[in-house]
Amino acid sequence: MDVFRRRGANALEFGLTVPIFMMLMLGIVDYGWIYVHHAGLANAAYLGCREGSMIDPNSPNATTGGPVQTAEETIENHAAYFCANATCDVVVEDIDDPPQRSLQCTISIDPYQPLIGFLPPGLLPDVLVSTAQQRLEWQRAR
């Protein structure tokens, strides 16, 4: 007759563990969303810098506007999905002199909006930033 004394115990245990389980799952989803955005921004910064680094900065036939403009356009195209509902800032700098002339590409989302917003503000970043740097293939003076 012990079966009758335990009636409802499973439902009570389920009710006590579901909030903890849901908090854990929602936290995982929020952190996963951050990871996806950060990886996408890093990929866009890398691809933009790589594309810009292959442009000859002194070519008279350059219709693209040079390495900096090419990198900015490529970054904006690759990050369009991540910047659809947020403000993305793209900064491309032509740094150093030959033989170390490089492009430094930075993209940031400010402010970053989480998917669910379940976690407290101190645990989530306010700004997501990704930076890439590529040496120009054409090492010529500016």
pLDDT for 26-53, tens place per residue? Answer: 989 988 998 999 999 999 999 999 999 9
Query: For residue 120, which of 14, 23, 43, 17 has the smallest C-alpha distance?
Result: 23
Q: Please give the model's pTM, rounded to 2 decimal places.
A: 0.81
102-109/128-135 β-pairing: antiparallel
The enclosing H or E element of 55 equals none
d(CA 138, CA 66): 12
Tokens 């219709």 found at: 63
* H/E segment holding residue 90: strand 88-95
Q: Are 67 and 94 in contact (CB under 8 A)?
A: yes
Structure confidence at residue 2 as a pLDDT band (50, 70, 90): low
CA 133 to chain CA centroid, Å, is 16
Mean pLDDT across 14-29: 92
What is the pLDDT confidence band of residue 79, given thresholds at 50, 70 and 90? very high
Instruction: Using a pLDDT cut of 90, give the percent of the chain over it.
Output: 46
Secondary element (H or E) of residue 82: none
Q: Which of 35, 57, 58, 41 is nearest to 105 (CA)?
A: 41
Q: Of 31-45, 87-101, 122-136, where does the model show the most confidence?
A: 31-45
**Residue 61 binned pLDDT confidence (cut-offs 50, 70, 90):** low
